[in-house]
Amino acid sequence: MNHRFENIKELKREFITVQFFFDQTKERFKLRKVGDSDIDPEKLITEKDIHRPGLALAGYVDLFTYNRVQVFGNTEIQYLEQLSEIERQSKLDRFCSFNVPCIIVTNDNSIPEELLNSCLKENIPLFVTPYPTTRLAFFISDFLDDQFATQLIIHGSFVDVYGVGLLFSGKSGIGKSEIALDLVERGHRLVADDIVVVTRKGEGVLMGSGTALSKHIMEIRGLGLIDVRMIFGIRAIRFQKRVEVVVELEDWDRDKAYERTGLESSTINLSGVDTELIKLPIFPGKNITVIAEVIALNYLCKHYGYNAAEEFRRRLQEKISARNMKSKLSSQQDSLGRTTEYFEHDFE
């Protein structure tokens, strides 16, 4: 890993409260709390996975992952309805005797009275939603995966340039914020400045955002703090963006060999995800803003199947092959070739 990132610690939540889960998802997933009792602040969710407790309700609890969010779908509700009241209450009492964080009933199914009694007795939050089980499971899994995802706190500036997420890194005072501000002035969108929170989402995806405190406020040395949203408007900001290219700014070193062709691409591993890395030397007078735009456009070209470096190599190989085949031709034959072989009457 690059030296600027090797000391970064990965942050990961160990738990979230059920109250936080309900507050964040009640509008998104149309959750309604059953009963008037308050949610115990000590009720915690410690895993990102959910559980369908069919076997546990039937009595097999050897592999019961009770510490997960429990989802009762049509299968669980119909199974309970087939039982007698005494048997239903007995099985639900045993089920709720485990330290279950919460129970969600899907499809707006009717809540069995015995389930409500058992939840009240064990102080287990009970929710209901109109969403079908499969859809709700996807939504909750995505939400919990985000909450328990690994996060990196990176010092840098993060800008959406032509739809490509460019994360600028480098030593303090090298000009990251100024470059980001110049890009915003040219119509691009600021995601975060100074502190960038990078979160791994799923396999191979990194999402970057700012912090709730600073949001889109930037510090410009000599000027102070500015609010990008207030100055440039809502179109100049984003709240999140996928991290696609890391641009490391460094002072120009004449003795250092920099990439000249782009044939050997570099990557940096952030939280297990390989991300394209470009080391960009800077010196007074160099237009980093335009270069940043070209980095984004070049990334898009490669993403859609065109690589300028590979194309040049292909042309060079074809030229060498053609020259070898025509080696018997006159040595005065133009061996390089021109963009056009005949200048007509346009001498501009």
Q: Which of 3, 9, 254, 260 is catalytic?
A: 260
Choose the CATH number for 153-303 among 3.40.190.10, 3.40.50.300, 3.10.105.10, 3.30.360.10: 3.40.50.300
Residues 113-117: what's their mean pLDDT?
A: 93
Distance CA 94, CA 258 (A): 67
Following DSSP, what letter does each residue of 55-123 receive, concatenated?
Answer: HHHHT--TT--TTSEEEE-HHHHHHHHTS-HHHHHHHHHHHHTS----EEE-TTPPPPHHHHHHHHHHT
Q: Where in the chain is the domain with CATH 3.40.50.300?
A: 153-303
**Model pLDDT for residues 285-327, shown as the tens digit of each residue:** 788 999 999 999 999 998 999 888 888 888 888 878 777 766 6
Q: Which of 48, 68, 176, 238 is catalytic?
A: 176
**Model pLDDT for residues 139-178, shown as the tens digit of each residue:** 999 999 989 988 899 999 999 999 999 999 988 888 899 9
Query: Which residues, in sequence order, are CB contacts of 256 under 8 Å at separation 6+?
Result: 281
pLDDT at 30: 94
51 labelled catalytic: no
176 labelled catalytic: yes
Burial readout 118-153 (b: 16 or more C-beta within 10 A, e: otherwise) = bbeeeebbbbbbebebeebbeebeebbeebbbbbbe
pTM: 0.77
3-class SS letters over 116-132: HHHHHHHCCCEEECCCC
pLDDT at 94: 93
Q: Where in the chain is the domain with CATH 3.40.1390.20?
A: 11-147
Q: Which of 188, 194, 200, 216 is catalytic?
A: 194
**Model pLDDT for residues 167-216, shown as the tens digit of each residue:** 999 888 888 999 999 999 999 999 999 899 999 887 789 999 999 888 89
Is the pLDDT confidence value at 3 over 70? no
Which residues lie across from 240 on neighbouring strands?
209
Burial bucket for residue 250 (CB in 10 Å: 0-12, 13-18, 19+)? middle
Instruction: Please count the CA atoms within 13 angstroms of the CA of 287 that sit on its side-chain side.
Output: 5
Which residues lie across from 275 on neighbouring strands?
268
Portion of the chain with pLDDT greater than 70, in percent? 89
Q: Which CATH fold would you assign to the domain 11-147?
A: 3.40.1390
